[in-house]
Chains A and B, each alone.
Chain A
Amino acid sequence: MPVEDATISPHPASSAPGSAAPLAIQVEDLHKSFRIPTHRVDSLKERAVRPFSSRDYRQLHALDGVSFEVRQGEFFGIVGRNGSGKSTLLKLLASIYRADAGTIRMAGRLAPFIELGVGFNHDLTARENVVLNGVMMGLTPKEMRRRLDAVIEFAELGEFADLKLKNYSSGMLVRLAFSVMMEADADVLLIDEVLAVGDASFQQKCADAFHDMKAAGKTIVLVTHEMATVETYCHRAMLISDGQIQHIGDPGEVGREYLRLNFEGRGTHAKTTSATDDLRLLDAWLERPGGERAKNFESGEEIAVVAEVEMLVGSPAVHIGFTLVNEDGVGVFQFSTVTEESAGPLLPGNRVRVVNRIENLLTPGHYFLHFGAKRAPDARALVLHVERALDFLVFGDGHSQGFVRLPRTTDVSIEGGGAP
């Protein structure tokens, strides 16, 4: 059978609620900071020994004056890079954190779906957890028991309903959590990165459920860093960076802002401080096939990774490598080059340029390159390591599941069946 790309088929976007629609969420000048202790006082003994050490902390301003409004029936996207404050905002909306200043007003009952879950007790069975969660979201136990079967059915967990959750796989947990949220029949849904999980058929089911909720006039706030999801579903979107709103409005515009922010956020060149006593990384960059420096590459386009190193001491040879990692820090691919020893030993002051050309089989996403250099042949000692020396985006159509798109060939044959 042919393997088709699993894509979520978008439904035709229902029209955005007009500006006359009543507000569902109103946020005014929201501030939230966390105290990050440099020396965490975790025991009474430490508190007694160093009574004033609790002042050893720095303030992290996760949100710094955020104001926005969401109308009833709106599908609202919140995007931002890791650490931008979007998860903090979601937790404030969900009443899990308390704001330092500012107000949040919300209309109706809320169902949160945070960090891939709705808060389960893993020692209890699915049934017990579903009822507990329903009550936490404001339903009565009776009401939730009535909906129990629907939840279990939607999650496709019929035979596992009496199994303790600690025996569930992560996929089963997410399905259960999503189903609880759906069946809680809340007025406002807060969703954090749900479409990234589950298999294709469950994703399709979620997409259908989203569509139904959208049609039913539910208010949905979706936090994600997947721009495709935002553009597919959201009426409006908001980009936050460093705890402040960068842009709010049309999802397409927000998407472009987000990409731009990703380019500018980190320096386009390697850090200048990347030197040791042995050698110095002068420069590192990425090139398109024409030799043009770039930070974003289309799927399938060749990428040239260039590094220039200056030797500060003599060495028979030098070993230069890169590790390619994805956004979550998972290693995807590693490559390295050793200079030819036959060309004679390297002298202080020599400049070495290494160009690696890679066929870009990566799935769309944000990637980083760690730089590493060792003296050869005694390559044991790592003389220079630069974390995230380079970063780039891969864009393209289709799905961003998995790490790479391996080349494949497809044969389809159909047998049997009567002649027409």
Chain B
Amino acid sequence: MSATPATAAPPQLREVRGPSALGGGPRRFFDLLWLMSVTEFKRVYFGTVLGYLWSLIRPLALFGVLLFVFTQVFKVGSNLPHYPVLLLMGVVLFTFFQESTTVAVTSVVSQEGVVRKTQFPRLVIPLATVLTGMMNLGLNLIVVFVFLFAFGVDPALTWLLFPFCLTLLAVLTAAVGMALSVLYVRFRDVAIIWAVASQILFYGTPVLYPLGPNGIENESIERMVMINPLAVIFEQVRVWMVEPAAPTAVDAAGGWLGLLPAAVIFLAVCAFGVWIFNREAPRIAEDL
């Protein structure tokens, strides 16, 4: 898409249908998505003195505290050789989910000035916050890999399946972010509700407590936890990345059928995110 040269034939009339979630061509959508994500990433990390270190300090501090509490105080993880790596992996992944969705909640409203004055695919806004989160995640994962090697975890072929898990996590994060960002335009208490809900989700995901042998060893709790799609993703990351011997998501759920609720919830959240955003997108500028 370049500027129309003066000699070109006059442009043809095309119908203007008003703002929408997508629209305006894929090229422009991805240009804008990439530009907004990178700009935001730069703004956060080049505007502060410690820059990128801040992005690292938060999960690392949380990791340090949790590691102390759960190996020295509660002794939950002390029976598992790779507990610290597992904990770090879980904290980093959950931080991505929590931070991206929390930023996404207010993303559309905080871009009010742009939304009220310019036409562009509205979906770019929440997706850009998730993409910025993924850039952070990428950097944090470097640290996770350093720990993986430091703790003597052997690289395995199953590491190649990690991107699949990350994709599922990113899709879920994006869907939640889309729904929250557009609901917040109309209902401002979404921000408070989500702060509490994401905290509950943290405990509903096996980050602190490993499942299976030497973990919590409680079958009914394990099956309950596996209703949470995040738990399924996290458990599978554990098996494929850190502990091949750990129970897989299927084992923890008590068979393939046990994974059905999580799969349904996953698809329902994605469908709801797309549906609600698509429905509300044309009216965002009016409701702000």
Contact = CB atoms under 8 A, between A and B. Distances in A.
A95 B187 contact: no
Contacts of A99: 18
B2 A140 contact: yes
Contacts of B282: 98
B119 A94 contact: yes
B118 A133 contact: yes
Interface stretch (B6-14, B130-138, B213-221): B6-14
B19 A108 contact: no
A153 to B, nearest CB: 18
Contact of B114 (A43, A91, A120): A120
A249 interface: no
B1 interface: yes
Nearest to B12: A107
Contact of B11 (A107, A112, A132, A135): A107
Nearest to B27: A140
Contacts of B117: 96, 112, 114-115, 117-119
B39 interface: yes
B19 A121 contact: no
Best-surrounded residue of B12, B13, B28 (most CB of chain A within 10 A): B13
Interface string B114-157: 11111110000000000000000000000000000000000000
Interface string A1-42: 000000000000000000000110010000000100000001
Nearest to B18: A98
A91 B285 contact: yes
A22 B14 CA distance: 13
Contact of B285 (A44, A96, A118): A96
A50 interface: no
Contact of B118 (A108, A118, A143): A118
Nearest to B13: A105
Contacts of A42: 186-188
A170 interface: no
Contacts of B119: 94-96, 110, 112, 136
Interface string B234-278: 000000000000000000000000000000000000000000000
Interface stretch (A123-131, A317-325, A366-374): A123-131
A135 B31 contact: yes
B187 A47 contact: yes
B199 interface: no
Interface residues of B, number: 43
A139 B13 contact: no
A109 interface: yes
A381 to B, nearest CB: 40
B15 A34 contact: no
Nearest to B11: A108
Interface residues of A, number: 53
B116 A96 contact: yes
A353 interface: no
A73 to B, nearest CB: 9
Nearest to A216: B6
B113 A106 contact: no
A137 B187 CA distance: 30
A300 interface: no
Given A91-B285, A105-B15, A107-B11, A132 B113 contact: no
Contact of A95 (B13, B18, B113): B18
A109 to B, nearest CB: 7
B35 A135 contact: yes
Contacts of B14: 105-107
Contacts of B10: 22, 72, 107-108
A45 interface: yes
B255 to A, nearest CB: 37
A43 B188 contact: yes
Given A95-B16, A140-B2, A140-B31, A122 B113 contact: yes
A47 B188 CA distance: 12
Contacts of A23: 13
Contacts of A120: 113-114
A124 B39 contact: yes
Best-surrounded residue of B4, B10, B27, B36 (most CB of chain A within 10 A): B10
A104 B15 contact: yes
B19 A97 contact: yes
B3 interface: yes
B180 to A, nearest CB: 13
Interface in B32-52: 32, 35-36, 39, 43
A274 B264 CA distance: 66
A131 B193 CA distance: 36
B2 A119 contact: no
6 contacts: A43-B189, A95-B19, A96-B115, A136-B120, A141-B35, A143-B2
Given A26-B13, A95-B16, 18 more contacts: A42-B188, A47-B187, A92-B18, A95-B18, A96-B117, A96-B118, A97-B19, A97-B285, A108-B4, A115-B117, A118-B117, A119-B118, A120-B114, A121-B111, A124-B39, A132-B32, A135-B31, A185-B4
Q: Which 4 A-B pairs rank lowest in CB-CB distance, beginning with the nearest?
A: A98-B18, A108-B11, A119-B117, A95-B119
